[in-house]
Chains A and B, each alone.
Chain A
């Protein structure tokens, strides 16, 4: 039992990171109907920025600064590479974001160099005893940070003028325009948000470890997450992310006991895709997706 609960908490920590990344994908998709493949680069950029800023600013200060800077970077990318392509087929724009991703990662990797860089988080691999469970502090930290961010996002979309405008534009762009909503600002804000969320995710991936140039691959797990959660659903991104994180940890924890040997030792890697497949068999538009959304 203790074993199971500990795995679940680890899973929630890992799932929080997926949720942050998936939220970025979904926010951009809702605004522009395009899947942006630039998320992995923003994630790496955020973590690398933290490694440079953590000295003068401390961890939280560096995290906030890196988040804002990455949001700014995303804003610049949107304005220069994506906005001019508005109106082109979604597939074309998606490929452009893929190019952006590679370009940004090349630059960021240059800053990363061959040195071992760390985000110097306060937790490392330290654990804490919670109701008889041994829990890594960094998992608690990312879970709490994600909770705060998600609550903030939901409040933003519910109560603020721009948040409401973004929701309206995602349902009917022309009608939103007719109310005086600037669709350009909607695009810009959604890219900035996605960039910031990816930066936070990247920093927490690196917490307790080094910044690895290959860590962007984790962002790819967000793809099955958003599809199983429903491409256009923010709650779907959160629930899907946490679900996949937990199932992955459970798979890693129990595969030695229960999985057949021929499956190898890394069942947890394919878990997200298996879950996605199973969900889509039952719910073709994902857990929370709406019907009209085009299929990828």
Chain B
């Protein structure tokens, strides 16, 4: 079980961005984390994977634990070794390196030869196998997303954190990515799926959280979220997630509360 409890995160010693977040991902489960721009989704993932330091961020309260072991004080490398892999926002592949070099880096902490892990990766993403020697930066957006996912899987994680994998992809590709997530999950990997594309995320998740201004405002099984009025209106209504709509949503919420 990957568990975040009452987490508070502050950037630059002043900006309180997460205000007491609690979420949990059970082994082999897919959990969706939804929320508008700036809600703090990426920050939450950074807190889990030990990357807050890079951004002058700090956990001021709460904890993150994996199967009961606290991991929020660990360095990123230790978190990877514990079995948590991530696909960062914006994919962050190493554009200058080849596809296979990117994958090998994903297995940096794994012991032994990369051979078997690479095979597994290539069978899951055949397109990467045909481009293994190409410079990663020349791949299409969808291929880069697959590379980022394959790279994270090279460490054979128990839990995979995905930060907006559908961002900037055409609907057909979004579908493909969704199916791949299901496939990865089917082999036993727990998935925390951060998305703005709520339709996609909730269609495969068993549970969902909605975040707003650093707080969890909804915490329900996906079925119920899909039926929820607010969610229907503001996350599922139109596919073009307009920032103005989101802003409007936040304003209205504040007005109501």
- Chain A interface (Cβ within 8 Å of chain B)? 161, 164-165, 167-168, 171-182
Contact = CB atoms under 8 A, between A and B. Distances in A.
Interface stretch (B10-18, B76-84, B210-218, B232-240): B76-84
10 contacts: A161-B104, A168-B94, A174-B54, A175-B94, A177-B77, A179-B106, A180-B76, A180-B81, A180-B108, A181-B77
A225 B151 CA distance: 37
A174 B95 contact: no
Q: Give the interface centre of A165, A179, A182 by most chain B CB atoms within 10 Å.
A: A179
Contact of A172 (B92, B101, B155): B92
A168 B154 CA distance: 16
Contacts of B86: 178
A212 to B, nearest CB: 41
B41 to A, nearest CB: 16
B97 A168 contact: yes
A180 B54 contact: no
**Which 4 pairs between the two chains have the least Cβ-Cβ distance?**
A180-B80, A180-B109, A175-B92, A180-B77
A174 B51 contact: yes
A206 B155 CA distance: 48
A291 B43 CA distance: 30
B151 A167 contact: no
A178 B51 CA distance: 7
B138 to A, nearest CB: 15
A172 B91 CA distance: 12
A178 B155 contact: no
Contacts of B94: 167-168, 171-172, 175
A164 B155 contact: no
Interface of B: 49-51, 54, 75-77, 80-81, 86, 88, 92-97, 101, 104-106, 108-109, 151, 155
A58 B95 CA distance: 46
A167 B97 CA distance: 9
Contact of A179 (B54, B75, B95, B108): B108
Contacts of B97: 164, 167-168, 171
A176 B96 CA distance: 13
B54 A165 contact: no
B105 A181 contact: yes
A178 B108 contact: no
Contacts of B109: 179-180
Nearest to B148: A175
B76 A177 contact: yes
Contacts of B104: 161, 164
A161 B51 contact: no
B76 A178 contact: yes
Nearest to B56: A87
A172 B95 CA distance: 10
Contact of A182 (B51, B54, B77, B151): B77
A182 B106 contact: no
Q: Give the interface centre of B77, B101, B151 by most chain A CB atoms within 10 Å.
A: B77
Given A180-B108, A180-B109, A181-B105, A171 B54 contact: no
Contacts of A181: 77, 105, 108
B101 A179 contact: no
A177 B104 CA distance: 14
Contacts of A176: 105
A174 B221 CA distance: 33
B192 to A, nearest CB: 15
Contact of A177 (B54, B93, B95, B101): B54
A45 B147 CA distance: 45
Contacts of B49: 178
B17 to A, nearest CB: 17
Nearest to B151: A179
B78 to A, nearest CB: 8
Contacts of A165: 105, 108
Contacts of A172: 92, 94
A220 to B, nearest CB: 30
Given A179-B105, A180-B108, A173 B54 contact: yes
Nearest to A165: B108
B79 to A, nearest CB: 8
Contacts of A171: 94-97
Given A164-B105, A175-B93, A177-B54, 5 more contacts: A171-B95, A178-B49, A179-B105, A179-B106, A181-B105
A247 to B, nearest CB: 30
Nearest to B79: A180
Q: Give the interface centre of A165, A168, A180 by most chain B CB atoms within 10 Å.
A: A180
Nearest to A167: B97
A177 B80 CA distance: 9
Contacts of B96: 167, 171
Contacts of B105: 164-165, 168, 176, 179, 181
Q: Give the interface centre of A168, A174, A178, A180 by most chain B CB atoms within 10 Å.
A: A178
Given A174-B51, A178-B76, A178-B86, A161 B108 contact: yes
A173 B96 CA distance: 14
Contacts of A167: 94, 96-97, 101
